Amino acid sequence: MAKEGSGSILQFAPFQSSVDEGFWHRLSSLKLNKFGIDDSPIPISGFYAPCSHPQVSNHLTLLAESLPSDSNEGSAMPAIIRGNRNRCSVPGILYNTNTMESFHALDKQGLLKAEAKKIWEDIHSGKAVEDCAVLSRFLLISFADLKKWSFHYWFAFPALALDPSATLVDLRPASQWFTLEEAESVSAECNEWRNSSETADVPFFLVSIGSDSRATIRHLKDLEACQLDGQKLLFAFYDPCHLPINPGWPLRNFLALICSRWNLKTVRFLCYRENRGFADLSLSLVGEALITVPQGWREHQSVPNAVGWELNKGRKIPRCINLAKSMDPTRLAISAA
């Protein structure tokens, strides 16, 4: 198991979306009371957290709070509530169309490319190092049929594709990669990172291990300090995925950042996962990937190819949810009678 997949292409488990009923309720109310037929894109926030159970992955979740407030007095309040450890906030954009036809007519490739370009620019401007959540920027297109209370939607999690793909040298449970002493220190430091309100929702970080087997966790911007004191340096991220031999989606743009900004060819990464809210190193993975920096990446000119439209049960189709049961006034009246 330890060396499984070595030398093969590093494959990432796609992000999965999950939309809370409250999101659609607020979108409907905004559409009716505020936006009207204005279909300009709306900045929204998604939330995610590291995998916290050995058998299920975490999702990029949209809640009512993902949208701006729909009440008028509330408009003075900040639209987005700061995340907590179970809700790391990720910026996204919503294109809500007025008709089914315009929903289908959206230029999906173009929209995905536009979001990928923002990520690409944030990587090169250094914004992604300061505010790493922008690496997981996402896109949502929707058509809200308010007459039937049905919502058609499709998520994309843009990932900059390395060409050629990164190959895997080694991937194993973190508990097997670290020595016992190191593992203990890594767990303790990660738990502390997750418990502090300052860092709990910072999904990308650096783990370095000194010669005394003690781990230190730092922000991405402190890479130089890590390289000085660390014998072992790992690029770590909150991994929403639970699979034992695949890292989750956020690692893709993280690798793009690492190879284009720091010009590394071999990258050791830590897929940080939890069990019941605490660091679990047998569930977490440590891997080593080889990257060939693609042509033109250092010049930052052309935006790399991007992928990331979410599949619906394996098919390239949008999802649909009907909320007539909780939105249709006639049905509500009947059930209330």
Partner 1 sequence: MVLSQRIHEAFKGTVERITGPRTVSAFKEKGVLSVSEFIIAGDNLVSKCPTWSWESGEPSKRKSYLPAEKQYLITRNVPCLRRAASVEEEYEAAGGEILLDNEDNDGWLATHGKPKDRSDVEENLPSMETLEIRQKETVRSIPSYFGGAEDEEDIPDMADYEEADNVIETDAATLQSTYLVAQEPDDDNILRTRTYDVSITYDKYYQTPRVWLTGYDESRMLLQPELVLEDVSQDHAHKTVTIEDHPHLPGKHASVHPCRHGAVMKKIIDVLMSRGVEPEVDKYLFLFLKFVASVIPTIEYDYTMDFDLGSSST
Near partner 1 in 16-55, by CB under 8 A: 16-18, 20-22, 25, 52-55
Minimum gap (Å) between residue 272 Cβ and partner 1: 14
The one-letter code for the residue type at 5 is G
Query: CA 183: distance to chain centroid?
Result: 26
CA angle (259 as vertex; 85, 182 as ends), nearest 5: 50
**What is the distance between the alpha carbons of residues 254 and 129, in angstroms, rounded to a whole number?**
10
Minimum gap (Å) between residue 68 Cβ and partner 1: 12
Residue 312, φ and ψ in degrees, nearest 5: -110, 105
**Neighbour-count burial for 55-77, b at 16+ CB within 10 Å, e otherwise:** eebbbbbbbbbbbbbbeeeeeee
Q: Which of residues 296-335 bind partner 1 (CB under 8 A)?
A: 307-309, 312-326, 335
Query: CA 102: distance to chain centroid?
Result: 27
* Of 166, 183, 270, 271, the one binding partner 1 by CB under 8 A: 166
Q: Which of residues 243-302 bind partner 1 (CB under 8 A)?
A: 243, 246, 252, 276-278
**Which residue do the tokens 């390289």 mark?**
227
* Of 1, 2, 100, 188, the one binding partner 1 by CB under 8 A: 100
Cis check: omega of the bond before 164, within 30 degrees of 0: yes
Minimum gap (Å) between residue 283 Cβ and partner 1: 12
Minimum gap (Å) between residue 9 Cβ and partner 1: 5
Q: Which of residues 185-224 bind partner 1 (CB under 8 A)?
A: 194-195
* Of 107, 198, 212, 224, the one binding partner 1 by CB under 8 A: 107
Q: Which of residues 222-241 bind partner 1 (CB under 8 A)?
A: 241
Contact stretch for partner 1 (CB under 8 A) within 15-23, 179-187, 216-224, 264-272:
15-23
